[in-house]
Structure 1
Amino acid sequence: MDNIYQHFRPEEKEFIDQVINWREFVEDSYAPKLTDFLDPRQIHIVQSIIGSEQNVKMGVFGGHADCERKRVLLYPEYFSPEKDDYQIVLFELKYPNKFVTITHRQVLGTLMSLGIKREKFGDIFIHQERIQLIIAKELQEYIKLELGQIGKTSVQLIEMPLDEVIHSGEMWHEIQTTVSSLRLDAVLSSVYHISRQKAQTLIQHGLVKVNWRTIEQTAFTCEEGDVISARGFGRSKILVIDGKTKKEKWRIHAGVLK
Protein backbone atom coordinates (compact mmCIF):
# COMPACT_ATOMS: atom_id res chain seq x y z
CA MET A 1 0.00 0.00 0.00
CA ASP A 2 2.91 2.37 -0.86
CA ASN A 3 1.17 5.67 -0.61
CA ILE A 4 -2.04 4.54 -2.26
CA TYR A 5 -3.48 8.07 -1.81
CA GLN A 6 -1.23 9.56 -4.49
CA HIS A 7 -3.29 7.78 -7.15
CA PHE A 8 -6.51 9.54 -6.12
CA ARG A 9 -7.86 12.98 -5.26
CA PRO A 10 -7.12 14.47 -1.82
CA GLU A 11 -10.84 14.67 -0.98
CA GLU A 12 -11.19 10.91 -1.66
CA LYS A 13 -8.86 9.94 1.21
CA GLU A 14 -11.71 9.25 3.65
CA PHE A 15 -13.45 6.94 1.18
CA ILE A 16 -10.16 5.15 0.40
CA ASP A 17 -9.65 4.49 4.13
CA GLN A 18 -13.17 3.07 4.24
CA VAL A 19 -12.43 0.70 1.33
CA ILE A 20 -9.23 -0.49 3.02
CA ASN A 21 -11.23 -1.16 6.22
CA TRP A 22 -13.79 -3.17 4.22
CA ARG A 23 -11.03 -5.24 2.65
CA GLU A 24 -9.41 -5.90 6.03
CA PHE A 25 -12.78 -6.90 7.49
CA VAL A 26 -13.26 -9.54 4.77
CA GLU A 27 -9.68 -10.82 5.20
CA ASP A 28 -9.90 -10.97 9.00
CA SER A 29 -13.44 -12.29 9.43
CA TYR A 30 -13.50 -14.43 6.27
CA ALA A 31 -17.05 -13.14 5.71
CA PRO A 32 -18.65 -10.93 3.01
CA LYS A 33 -19.06 -7.16 3.36
CA LEU A 34 -21.90 -5.29 1.58
CA THR A 35 -21.58 -1.56 0.92
CA ASP A 36 -24.24 1.10 0.47
CA PHE A 37 -25.02 2.31 -3.07
CA LEU A 38 -21.88 3.78 -4.64
CA ASP A 39 -21.54 6.08 -7.65
CA PRO A 40 -19.39 5.09 -10.67
CA ARG A 41 -16.32 6.96 -9.42
CA GLN A 42 -16.50 5.25 -6.02
CA ILE A 43 -16.91 1.86 -7.70
CA HIS A 44 -13.80 2.63 -9.78
CA ILE A 45 -11.85 3.40 -6.58
CA VAL A 46 -12.96 0.10 -4.99
CA GLN A 47 -11.93 -1.79 -8.14
CA SER A 48 -8.54 -0.04 -8.12
CA ILE A 49 -7.86 -0.94 -4.49
CA ILE A 50 -9.23 -4.49 -4.52
CA GLY A 51 -7.81 -5.08 -8.01
CA SER A 52 -6.40 -8.56 -8.40
CA GLU A 53 -6.55 -9.36 -4.67
CA GLN A 54 -6.21 -13.07 -4.08
CA ASN A 55 -8.11 -13.20 -0.81
CA VAL A 56 -10.90 -10.71 -1.53
CA LYS A 57 -13.24 -10.82 -4.52
CA MET A 58 -15.66 -8.13 -5.65
CA GLY A 59 -19.19 -8.17 -7.05
CA VAL A 60 -21.29 -5.19 -8.18
CA PHE A 61 -25.09 -5.01 -8.58
CA GLY A 62 -27.64 -2.21 -8.58
CA GLY A 63 -30.83 -3.82 -9.90
CA HIS A 64 -29.80 -4.37 -13.50
CA ALA A 65 -26.67 -4.02 -15.63
CA ASP A 66 -27.30 -0.42 -16.73
CA CYS A 67 -27.79 1.03 -13.24
CA GLU A 68 -25.47 3.89 -12.39
CA ARG A 69 -25.49 3.52 -8.61
CA LYS A 70 -24.73 0.04 -7.32
CA ARG A 71 -23.96 -1.86 -4.15
CA VAL A 72 -20.58 -3.56 -3.95
CA LEU A 73 -20.09 -6.92 -2.28
CA LEU A 74 -16.60 -7.82 -1.12
CA TYR A 75 -16.25 -11.48 -0.25
CA PRO A 76 -13.73 -14.27 0.42
CA GLU A 77 -12.86 -16.90 -2.21
CA TYR A 78 -15.20 -19.58 -0.89
CA PHE A 79 -18.31 -17.37 -1.19
CA SER A 80 -20.58 -17.52 -4.26
CA PRO A 81 -22.71 -14.35 -4.34
CA GLU A 82 -26.31 -14.33 -5.54
CA LYS A 83 -28.64 -11.39 -6.25
CA ASP A 84 -30.29 -11.72 -2.84
CA ASP A 85 -26.95 -11.03 -1.17
CA TYR A 86 -27.06 -7.44 -2.46
CA GLN A 87 -30.15 -6.70 -0.32
CA ILE A 88 -31.97 -4.63 -2.93
CA VAL A 89 -35.71 -3.94 -3.16
CA LEU A 90 -37.57 -2.52 -6.17
CA PHE A 91 -40.67 -0.36 -5.68
CA GLU A 92 -43.01 1.07 -8.28
CA LEU A 93 -45.02 4.20 -7.49
CA LYS A 94 -48.73 4.15 -8.22
CA TYR A 95 -50.21 7.64 -8.58
CA PRO A 96 -52.89 9.40 -10.71
CA ASN A 97 -50.58 9.73 -13.73
CA LYS A 98 -53.36 10.94 -16.04
CA PHE A 99 -53.57 14.17 -14.02
CA VAL A 100 -50.13 14.61 -12.46
CA THR A 101 -46.52 14.59 -13.63
CA ILE A 102 -43.87 13.62 -11.10
CA THR A 103 -40.24 14.44 -11.88
CA HIS A 104 -37.00 12.70 -10.93
CA ARG A 105 -36.06 15.72 -8.82
CA GLN A 106 -39.34 15.53 -6.85
CA VAL A 107 -38.82 11.83 -6.06
CA LEU A 108 -35.23 12.47 -5.01
CA GLY A 109 -36.22 15.48 -2.88
CA THR A 110 -38.99 13.56 -1.12
CA LEU A 111 -36.69 10.66 -0.22
CA MET A 112 -34.07 13.07 1.13
CA SER A 113 -36.72 14.98 3.13
CA LEU A 114 -37.62 11.70 4.87
CA GLY A 115 -34.08 11.67 6.24
CA ILE A 116 -32.89 8.94 3.90
CA LYS A 117 -29.24 9.34 2.95
CA ARG A 118 -28.47 9.28 -0.77
CA GLU A 119 -26.30 6.19 -0.40
CA LYS A 120 -29.28 4.18 0.88
CA PHE A 121 -31.11 4.14 -2.45
CA GLY A 122 -30.02 3.42 -5.98
CA ASP A 123 -31.31 4.62 -9.34
CA ILE A 124 -34.70 6.25 -9.83
CA PHE A 125 -36.28 5.17 -13.11
CA ILE A 126 -38.87 7.26 -14.90
CA HIS A 127 -40.17 6.01 -18.22
CA GLN A 128 -43.30 7.58 -19.67
CA GLU A 129 -45.68 7.61 -16.67
CA ARG A 130 -44.01 4.77 -14.76
CA ILE A 131 -41.73 5.51 -11.80
CA GLN A 132 -39.58 2.95 -10.00
CA LEU A 133 -36.94 3.25 -7.32
CA ILE A 134 -34.35 0.88 -5.93
CA ILE A 135 -33.87 0.87 -2.15
CA ALA A 136 -31.55 -0.84 0.31
CA LYS A 137 -33.55 -3.64 1.90
CA GLU A 138 -32.90 -2.38 5.43
CA LEU A 139 -35.13 0.64 4.63
CA GLN A 140 -37.95 -1.38 3.07
CA GLU A 141 -40.40 -1.11 5.98
CA TYR A 142 -39.55 2.53 6.76
CA ILE A 143 -40.17 3.58 3.14
CA LYS A 144 -43.50 1.73 3.01
CA LEU A 145 -44.56 3.47 6.21
CA GLU A 146 -43.35 6.99 5.45
CA LEU A 147 -43.57 7.54 1.68
CA GLY A 148 -47.23 8.39 1.16
CA GLN A 149 -47.01 11.44 -1.05
CA ILE A 150 -44.71 13.31 -3.38
CA GLY A 151 -45.41 17.03 -3.40
CA LYS A 152 -49.19 17.21 -3.05
CA THR A 153 -49.76 13.91 -4.84
CA SER A 154 -50.68 10.77 -2.91
CA VAL A 155 -48.62 7.75 -3.96
CA GLN A 156 -48.76 4.06 -3.22
CA LEU A 157 -45.69 1.83 -3.18
CA ILE A 158 -45.90 -1.56 -4.87
CA GLU A 159 -43.01 -3.97 -4.36
CA MET A 160 -41.89 -5.52 -7.65
CA PRO A 161 -39.61 -8.43 -8.58
CA LEU A 162 -36.17 -7.16 -9.60
CA ASP A 163 -36.48 -8.67 -13.06
CA GLU A 164 -39.37 -6.26 -13.74
CA VAL A 165 -37.22 -3.15 -13.47
CA ILE A 166 -38.07 -0.72 -16.27
CA HIS A 167 -35.41 0.62 -18.57
CA SER A 168 -35.57 4.37 -18.85
CA GLY A 169 -34.69 4.23 -22.54
CA GLU A 170 -31.41 6.02 -21.86
CA MET A 171 -28.84 5.32 -24.54
CA TRP A 172 -25.13 5.78 -23.90
CA HIS A 173 -23.10 6.51 -27.01
CA GLU A 174 -19.46 5.51 -26.64
CA ILE A 175 -16.85 7.82 -28.16
CA GLN A 176 -13.08 7.88 -28.36
CA THR A 177 -11.34 11.22 -28.36
CA THR A 178 -8.01 12.86 -27.55
CA VAL A 179 -7.57 15.80 -25.21
CA SER A 180 -4.62 18.09 -24.64
CA SER A 181 -4.93 17.57 -20.88
CA LEU A 182 -7.29 16.00 -18.35
CA ARG A 183 -8.45 19.42 -17.14
CA LEU A 184 -12.23 19.64 -16.87
CA ASP A 185 -12.49 22.43 -19.47
CA ALA A 186 -10.45 20.41 -22.00
CA VAL A 187 -12.46 17.22 -21.46
CA LEU A 188 -15.79 19.10 -21.59
CA SER A 189 -14.77 20.82 -24.83
CA SER A 190 -13.77 17.56 -26.51
CA VAL A 191 -16.65 15.35 -25.31
CA TYR A 192 -19.42 17.86 -26.09
CA HIS A 193 -17.79 19.40 -29.19
CA ILE A 194 -17.85 22.94 -27.82
CA SER A 195 -15.11 25.57 -27.66
CA ARG A 196 -12.72 25.60 -24.73
CA GLN A 197 -13.97 29.11 -23.91
CA LYS A 198 -17.60 27.93 -23.84
CA ALA A 199 -16.58 25.04 -21.55
CA GLN A 200 -14.81 27.45 -19.20
CA THR A 201 -17.86 29.72 -19.07
CA LEU A 202 -20.15 26.80 -18.15
CA ILE A 203 -17.78 25.73 -15.36
CA GLN A 204 -17.30 29.23 -13.96
CA HIS A 205 -21.06 29.80 -13.87
CA GLY A 206 -21.60 26.69 -11.72
CA LEU A 207 -23.35 24.75 -14.50
CA VAL A 208 -21.05 21.72 -14.45
CA LYS A 209 -21.04 18.84 -11.99
CA VAL A 210 -18.53 16.03 -11.56
CA ASN A 211 -19.88 13.05 -9.62
CA TRP A 212 -22.97 15.08 -8.67
CA ARG A 213 -20.85 17.88 -7.11
CA THR A 214 -20.68 21.37 -8.66
CA ILE A 215 -17.12 22.12 -9.79
CA GLU A 216 -16.19 25.72 -10.60
CA GLN A 217 -12.45 25.20 -11.18
CA THR A 218 -11.64 24.93 -14.90
CA ALA A 219 -8.33 23.21 -14.03
CA PHE A 220 -10.03 20.42 -12.04
CA THR A 221 -8.43 17.11 -13.10
CA CYS A 222 -10.78 14.47 -14.50
CA GLU A 223 -10.20 10.79 -13.81
CA GLU A 224 -11.56 7.38 -14.80
CA GLY A 225 -15.06 6.69 -13.51
CA ASP A 226 -16.05 10.36 -13.32
CA VAL A 227 -19.63 11.24 -14.26
CA ILE A 228 -19.82 14.73 -15.75
CA SER A 229 -22.97 16.74 -16.35
CA ALA A 230 -23.22 20.13 -18.01
CA ARG A 231 -26.52 21.98 -17.99
CA GLY A 232 -27.97 21.99 -21.49
CA PHE A 233 -25.55 19.32 -22.73
CA GLY A 234 -26.53 16.24 -20.73
CA ARG A 235 -24.35 13.69 -19.02
CA SER A 236 -21.21 11.80 -19.86
CA LYS A 237 -18.85 9.45 -18.06
CA ILE A 238 -15.16 8.74 -18.49
CA LEU A 239 -14.91 5.01 -19.10
CA VAL A 240 -11.19 4.60 -19.77
CA ILE A 241 -8.15 6.88 -19.83
CA ASP A 242 -5.97 5.07 -22.33
CA GLY A 243 -2.57 6.74 -21.94
CA LYS A 244 -0.89 9.31 -24.16
CA THR A 245 -0.39 9.56 -27.92
CA LYS A 246 2.98 10.32 -29.54
CA LYS A 247 1.92 13.97 -29.60
CA GLU A 248 1.44 13.91 -25.80
CA LYS A 249 -2.35 14.04 -25.94
CA TRP A 250 -4.50 11.88 -23.68
CA ARG A 251 -6.69 9.18 -25.28
CA ILE A 252 -10.00 8.78 -23.51
CA HIS A 253 -13.09 6.61 -24.01
CA ALA A 254 -16.27 8.29 -22.82
CA GLY A 255 -19.94 7.42 -22.73
CA VAL A 256 -22.30 10.24 -23.69
CA LEU A 257 -25.98 10.07 -22.81
CA LYS A 258 -28.02 10.55 -25.99
Structure 2
Amino acid sequence: MNIYQHFRPEEREFIDQVVQWKSYVEIHYTPKLTDFLDPREQQILKMLIGENGNVNYQLFGGSHNLERKRAFLYPDYLTANCDDFQISLFEIHYPSKFVTIEHRQVLGTLMSLGLKRGKFGDILMKDERIQFFVAKEVNEYIKSNLESIGRAGVKLVEISSDEAISAKELWQETDLTVSSLRLDTVISGIYHLSRQKSQTLFQQGLVKVNWTLTENPSFSCEIGDMISVRGHGRAKIIGIEGKTKKEKWRIIVGKQK
Protein backbone atom coordinates (compact mmCIF):
# COMPACT_ATOMS: atom_id res chain seq x y z
CA MET A 1 0.00 0.00 0.00
CA ASN A 2 1.25 3.48 -0.84
CA ILE A 3 1.45 5.31 2.49
CA TYR A 4 2.00 8.65 0.77
CA GLN A 5 -1.57 8.76 -0.50
CA HIS A 6 -2.80 9.55 3.01
CA PHE A 7 -0.56 12.60 3.40
CA ARG A 8 0.46 15.79 1.61
CA PRO A 9 3.24 15.80 -0.99
CA GLU A 10 5.37 18.18 1.09
CA GLU A 11 5.25 15.73 4.01
CA ARG A 12 6.98 12.90 2.15
CA GLU A 13 10.43 13.69 3.49
CA PHE A 14 9.23 13.55 7.09
CA ILE A 15 7.23 10.37 6.40
CA ASP A 16 10.39 8.69 5.09
CA GLN A 17 12.21 9.79 8.22
CA VAL A 18 9.59 8.29 10.54
CA VAL A 19 9.64 5.02 8.57
CA GLN A 20 13.44 4.94 8.97
CA TRP A 21 13.17 5.55 12.71
CA LYS A 22 10.67 2.75 13.09
CA SER A 23 12.79 0.39 11.01
CA TYR A 24 15.88 1.26 13.06
CA VAL A 25 14.14 0.29 16.31
CA GLU A 26 12.77 -2.92 14.79
CA ILE A 27 16.11 -4.02 13.31
CA HIS A 28 18.45 -3.00 16.12
CA TYR A 29 15.97 -3.54 18.95
CA THR A 30 17.18 -0.32 20.52
CA PRO A 31 15.40 3.00 21.19
CA LYS A 32 15.50 6.12 19.01
CA LEU A 33 15.11 9.71 20.26
CA THR A 34 14.00 12.40 17.82
CA ASP A 35 14.35 16.17 17.79
CA PHE A 36 11.40 18.30 18.88
CA LEU A 37 8.40 17.81 16.61
CA ASP A 38 5.57 20.23 15.95
CA PRO A 39 1.97 18.99 16.47
CA ARG A 40 1.45 18.06 12.81
CA GLU A 41 4.65 15.99 12.81
CA GLN A 42 3.51 14.33 16.03
CA GLN A 43 0.20 13.46 14.36
CA ILE A 44 2.00 11.89 11.39
CA LEU A 45 4.28 9.89 13.69
CA LYS A 46 1.30 8.55 15.66
CA MET A 47 -0.39 7.42 12.45
CA LEU A 48 2.71 5.71 11.07
CA ILE A 49 3.88 4.00 14.26
CA GLY A 50 0.42 2.87 15.32
CA GLU A 51 -0.59 1.49 18.68
CA ASN A 52 -0.29 -2.29 18.36
CA GLY A 53 3.06 -3.01 16.69
CA ASN A 54 6.51 -4.02 17.92
CA VAL A 55 7.54 -0.37 18.27
CA ASN A 56 6.08 1.87 20.97
CA TYR A 57 6.41 5.63 21.32
CA GLN A 58 6.02 8.39 23.88
CA LEU A 59 5.94 12.15 23.31
CA PHE A 60 7.26 14.68 25.82
CA GLY A 61 8.29 18.33 25.63
CA GLY A 62 9.85 18.85 29.05
CA SER A 63 6.67 19.70 30.98
CA HIS A 64 2.90 19.51 30.60
CA ASN A 65 0.67 21.24 28.03
CA LEU A 66 3.51 21.97 25.63
CA GLU A 67 3.26 22.22 21.86
CA ARG A 68 6.62 20.94 20.65
CA LYS A 69 7.70 17.49 21.85
CA ARG A 70 10.46 14.96 21.33
CA ALA A 71 9.45 11.42 20.40
CA PHE A 72 11.03 8.40 22.06
CA LEU A 73 10.56 5.25 19.98
CA TYR A 74 11.38 1.99 21.73
CA PRO A 75 10.93 -1.79 21.43
CA ASP A 76 8.11 -3.35 23.39
CA TYR A 77 10.37 -4.80 26.09
CA LEU A 78 11.28 -1.30 27.34
CA THR A 79 9.42 1.43 29.19
CA ALA A 80 9.99 5.16 28.81
CA ASN A 81 10.60 7.80 31.49
CA CYS A 82 11.24 11.54 31.44
CA ASP A 83 15.04 11.16 31.53
CA ASP A 84 14.96 9.32 28.20
CA PHE A 85 13.92 12.50 26.41
CA GLN A 86 17.14 14.38 27.25
CA ILE A 87 15.52 17.82 27.59
CA SER A 88 16.97 20.84 29.41
CA LEU A 89 15.23 24.01 30.55
CA PHE A 90 16.95 27.39 30.53
CA GLU A 91 15.78 30.65 32.04
CA ILE A 92 16.97 33.90 30.46
CA HIS A 93 18.17 36.55 32.89
CA TYR A 94 18.19 40.05 31.42
CA PRO A 95 17.78 43.68 32.61
CA SER A 96 13.99 43.56 32.57
CA LYS A 97 13.67 47.02 34.13
CA PHE A 98 15.21 48.60 31.07
CA VAL A 99 14.34 46.37 28.09
CA THR A 100 11.47 44.25 26.84
CA ILE A 101 12.12 40.99 25.01
CA GLU A 102 9.46 39.46 22.78
CA HIS A 103 8.87 35.84 21.82
CA ARG A 104 9.92 36.42 18.21
CA GLN A 105 13.23 37.92 19.36
CA VAL A 106 14.01 34.86 21.48
CA LEU A 107 13.21 32.47 18.64
CA GLY A 108 15.11 34.58 16.11
CA THR A 109 18.20 34.64 18.31
CA LEU A 110 18.08 30.88 18.92
CA MET A 111 17.74 30.20 15.20
CA SER A 112 20.66 32.55 14.43
CA LEU A 113 22.97 30.20 16.35
CA GLY A 114 22.96 27.88 13.36
CA LEU A 115 21.00 25.05 14.95
CA LYS A 116 17.90 23.39 13.53
CA ARG A 117 14.48 24.42 14.86
CA GLY A 118 14.10 20.83 16.03
CA LYS A 119 16.71 21.37 18.74
CA PHE A 120 14.43 23.82 20.55
CA GLY A 121 11.13 23.15 22.27
CA ASP A 122 8.59 25.65 23.53
CA ILE A 123 9.49 29.18 24.58
CA LEU A 124 7.62 30.14 27.76
CA MET A 125 6.94 33.72 28.80
CA LYS A 126 5.07 35.12 31.77
CA ASP A 127 5.35 38.64 33.13
CA GLU A 128 9.10 39.34 32.83
CA ARG A 129 10.24 35.70 32.96
CA ILE A 130 11.44 33.90 29.85
CA GLN A 131 12.32 30.21 29.55
CA PHE A 132 12.94 27.75 26.75
CA PHE A 133 13.35 24.00 26.39
CA VAL A 134 16.24 22.59 24.42
CA ALA A 135 17.69 19.22 23.41
CA LYS A 136 20.32 18.42 26.02
CA GLU A 137 22.97 17.54 23.42
CA VAL A 138 23.34 21.21 22.41
CA ASN A 139 23.43 22.66 25.96
CA GLU A 140 27.09 23.62 25.96
CA TYR A 141 26.95 25.11 22.46
CA ILE A 142 24.06 27.37 23.44
CA LYS A 143 25.73 28.43 26.70
CA SER A 144 28.86 29.39 24.79
CA ASN A 145 27.16 31.29 21.98
CA LEU A 146 24.06 32.99 23.35
CA GLU A 147 25.14 36.25 24.95
CA SER A 148 22.54 38.77 23.84
CA ILE A 149 18.98 39.08 22.53
CA GLY A 150 18.42 42.23 20.55
CA ARG A 151 20.41 44.91 22.36
CA ALA A 152 20.09 43.25 25.74
CA GLY A 153 22.90 41.27 27.29
CA VAL A 154 21.57 38.02 28.72
CA LYS A 155 22.67 35.22 31.00
CA LEU A 156 21.38 31.67 30.69
CA VAL A 157 20.63 29.71 33.84
CA GLU A 158 19.78 26.02 33.60
CA ILE A 159 16.92 25.16 35.93
CA SER A 160 14.83 22.13 36.86
CA SER A 161 11.80 21.32 34.71
CA ASP A 162 9.79 21.59 37.94
CA GLU A 163 10.40 25.34 37.75
CA ALA A 164 8.85 25.69 34.30
CA ILE A 165 6.38 28.51 33.81
CA SER A 166 2.85 27.16 33.51
CA ALA A 167 2.23 26.60 29.81
CA LYS A 168 -1.49 25.91 29.99
CA GLU A 169 -3.00 27.27 26.80
CA LEU A 170 -6.58 28.44 26.66
CA TRP A 171 -8.31 27.30 23.48
CA GLN A 172 -11.89 28.19 22.83
CA GLU A 173 -13.42 25.28 20.95
CA THR A 174 -16.01 26.00 18.29
CA ASP A 175 -18.04 23.81 15.95
CA LEU A 176 -18.02 25.14 12.41
CA THR A 177 -19.78 24.16 9.21
CA VAL A 178 -17.79 25.07 6.10
CA SER A 179 -18.37 24.44 2.41
CA SER A 180 -14.93 22.86 1.95
CA LEU A 181 -11.67 22.16 3.78
CA ARG A 182 -9.80 24.70 1.65
CA LEU A 183 -7.63 26.89 3.85
CA ASP A 184 -9.22 30.16 2.70
CA THR A 185 -12.69 28.77 3.43
CA VAL A 186 -11.66 27.53 6.87
CA ILE A 187 -10.00 30.88 7.69
CA SER A 188 -13.18 32.68 6.65
CA GLY A 189 -15.19 30.52 9.04
CA ILE A 190 -12.79 30.77 11.98
CA TYR A 191 -12.22 34.51 11.86
CA HIS A 192 -15.61 35.55 10.42
CA LEU A 193 -14.10 37.04 7.29
CA SER A 194 -15.37 37.22 3.74
CA ARG A 195 -13.79 34.84 1.23
CA GLN A 196 -12.31 37.84 -0.60
CA LYS A 197 -10.77 39.18 2.61
CA SER A 198 -9.27 35.80 3.52
CA GLN A 199 -7.69 35.50 0.07
CA THR A 200 -6.16 38.97 0.48
CA LEU A 201 -4.38 37.70 3.60
CA PHE A 202 -2.50 35.19 1.46
CA GLN A 203 -1.44 37.87 -1.01
CA GLN A 204 -0.09 39.94 1.88
CA GLY A 205 1.95 37.02 3.27
CA LEU A 206 0.07 36.90 6.57
CA VAL A 207 -0.91 33.21 6.68
CA LYS A 208 1.07 30.31 8.15
CA VAL A 209 0.11 26.66 8.45
CA ASN A 210 2.15 24.48 10.78
CA TRP A 211 4.65 27.31 11.26
CA THR A 212 5.31 27.63 7.51
CA LEU A 213 4.27 30.63 5.40
CA THR A 214 1.83 29.62 2.68
CA GLU A 215 0.45 31.49 -0.31
CA ASN A 216 -1.84 28.64 -1.36
CA PRO A 217 -5.49 29.36 -0.46
CA SER A 218 -6.56 25.95 -1.79
CA PHE A 219 -4.39 24.11 0.77
CA SER A 220 -6.51 21.27 2.21
CA CYS A 221 -6.79 21.35 6.01
CA GLU A 222 -6.46 18.24 8.16
CA ILE A 223 -6.69 17.34 11.84
CA GLY A 224 -3.79 18.75 13.82
CA ASP A 225 -3.09 21.67 11.50
CA MET A 226 -2.07 24.88 13.24
CA ILE A 227 -3.24 28.02 11.46
CA SER A 228 -1.75 31.43 12.18
CA VAL A 229 -3.06 34.64 10.64
CA ARG A 230 -1.11 37.73 11.60
CA GLY A 231 -3.39 40.21 13.31
CA HIS A 232 -6.09 37.60 13.96
CA GLY A 233 -4.35 35.05 16.19
CA ARG A 234 -3.86 31.30 16.07
CA ALA A 235 -6.27 28.41 15.62
CA LYS A 236 -5.99 24.66 15.27
CA ILE A 237 -8.07 21.96 13.64
CA ILE A 238 -9.13 19.71 16.51
CA GLY A 239 -11.54 17.45 14.65
CA ILE A 240 -13.18 16.80 11.28
CA GLU A 241 -16.54 15.13 11.85
CA GLY A 242 -17.61 14.47 8.30
CA LYS A 243 -20.21 15.95 5.99
CA THR A 244 -23.72 17.17 6.58
CA LYS A 245 -26.71 16.17 4.45
CA LYS A 246 -26.04 19.31 2.42
CA GLU A 247 -22.48 18.16 1.69
CA LYS A 248 -20.83 20.69 3.97
CA TRP A 249 -18.01 19.82 6.36
CA ARG A 250 -18.43 19.82 10.13
CA ILE A 251 -15.17 20.68 11.87
CA ILE A 252 -14.06 21.48 15.41
CA VAL A 253 -11.53 24.28 15.76
CA GLY A 254 -9.73 25.71 18.76
CA LYS A 255 -9.04 29.42 18.78
CA GLN A 256 -6.41 30.71 21.14
CA LYS A 257 -7.75 33.14 23.72
Q: Give TM class, smaller chain.
A: over 0.9
In the alignment, the residues of structure 2 paired with residue 174 and residue 87 of structure 1 have an alpha-carbon distance, to the nearest angstrom, of 33
- In the other structure, the counterpart of 1:60 is 59
Contact 1:173 1:257 in 2 (8 A): yes
In the alignment, the residues of structure 2 paired with residue 52 and residue 31 of structure 1 have an alpha-carbon distance, to the nearest angstrom, of 18
**Which AA in structure 2 matches 1:91?**
F
- In the other structure, the counterpart of 2:49 is 50
In the alignment, the residues of structure 2 paired with residue 241 and residue 64 of structure 1 have an alpha-carbon distance, to the nearest angstrom, of 28
Structure 1 moving runs of 4+ over 6 Å: none
In the alignment, the residues of structure 1 paired with residue 82 and residue 141 of structure 2 have an alpha-carbon distance, to the nearest angstrom, of 22
- In the other structure, the counterpart of 1:79 is 78
What is the CA distance between 1:168 and its match in structure 2? 4.9
Instruction: Trace 1:78-157 onto structure 2 (pairs within 5 A).
Output: 78-157=77-156
Matched, 1:179 2:178: yes
Structure 2 residues without counterparts, runs of 5 or longer: none
In the alignment, the residues of structure 1 paired with residue 51 and residue 243 of structure 2 have an alpha-carbon distance, to the nearest angstrom, of 24
Contact 2:65 2:169 in 1 (8 A): no
**Which AA in structure 1 matches 2:198?**
A
- In the other structure, the counterpart of 2:11 is 12
Contact 1:224 1:239 in 2 (8 A): yes
What is the CA distance between 1:212 and its match in structure 2? 1.3
**Which AA in structure 2 matches 1:251?**
R
Could you tell me the percent identity over the aligned residues?
A: 61
Structure 2 counterpart SS, 1:72: strand
- In the other structure, the counterpart of 2:39 is 40
In the alignment, the residues of structure 1 paired with residue 64 and residue 189 of structure 2 have an alpha-carbon distance, to the nearest angstrom, of 27
**Which AA in structure 2 matches 1:212?**
W
In the alignment, the residues of structure 2 paired with residue 232 and residue 156 of structure 1 have an alpha-carbon distance, to the nearest angstrom, of 32
- In the other structure, the counterpart of 1:226 is 225
Structure 2 counterpart SS, 1:92: strand
When structure 1 is superposed on structure 2, of 36-45 and 171-180 the one drifting more is 171-180
Structure 1 residues without counterparts, runs of 5 or longer: none
Contact 1:36 1:119 in 2 (8 A): yes
**Which AA in structure 1 matches 2:233?**
G
In the alignment, the residues of structure 2 paired with residue 83 and residue 32 of structure 1 have an alpha-carbon distance, to the nearest angstrom, of 14
In the alignment, the residues of structure 1 paired with residue 86 and residue 135 of structure 2 have an alpha-carbon distance, to the nearest angstrom, of 6
In the alignment, the residues of structure 2 paired with residue 241 and residue 32 of structure 1 have an alpha-carbon distance, to the nearest angstrom, of 33
Contact 1:127 1:169 in 2 (8 A): no
Relative distance call for 1:67 and 1:134 in structure 2 (3 A) is same
When structure 1 is superposed on structure 2, of 81-90 and 107-116 the one drifting more is 107-116
Structure 2 counterpart SS, 1:45: helix
Contact 1:204 1:218 in 2 (8 A): no
Structure 1 counterpart SS, 2:107: helix
Structure 2 counterpart SS, 1:239: strand
Contact 1:204 1:217 in 2 (8 A): no
In the alignment, the residues of structure 2 paired with residue 254 and residue 226 of structure 1 have an alpha-carbon distance, to the nearest angstrom, of 10
What is the CA distance between 1:28 and its match in structure 2? 0.9
- In the other structure, the counterpart of 2:213 is 214
In the alignment, the residues of structure 1 paired with residue 212 and residue 145 of structure 2 have an alpha-carbon distance, to the nearest angstrom, of 28
What is the CA distance between 1:190 and its match in structure 2? 1.1
Count of matched residue positions in the alignment of Structure 1 and Structure 2 = 257
Deviations along 1:80-121, one digit per CA (max 9) or x if unpaired, are 111110110000011110111011111111111111211100
- In the other structure, the counterpart of 2:195 is 196
Structure 2 counterpart SS, 1:49: helix
Structure 2 counterpart SS, 1:221: coil
What TM-score do you get using the length of structure 2 for normalisation? 0.96
Instruction: Trace 1:18-29 onto structure 2 (pairs within 5 A).
Output: 18-29=17-28
